Amino acid sequence: MKHARTAAFTAVELLIVMLVLAVILALPLSAYLGAQRRAVETGALDYVRKCATAAARWTIDHPQDTPVGKDCADDEIAAGSLPSFIVSTRIAADRIDYTYSVFGSEASAALPIAFE
Q: What is the pLDDT of residues 16-26, one digit of tens each?
A: 999 999 999 98
How far apart are the C-alpha atoms of 4 and 51, rounded to whole Å? 77
pLDDT at 36 over 80: yes
Whether the model pTM is above 0.75:
no
Q: What is the mean pLDDT of residues 98-108?
A: 89
Give whole-number Cα distances, 114 to 14, 49, 53, 93, 94, in Å: 62, 12, 11, 8, 6
With a CB cutoff of 8 Å and minimum separation 6, the contacts of 92 are 68, 69, 110
The single-letter DSSP state of residue 63 is T
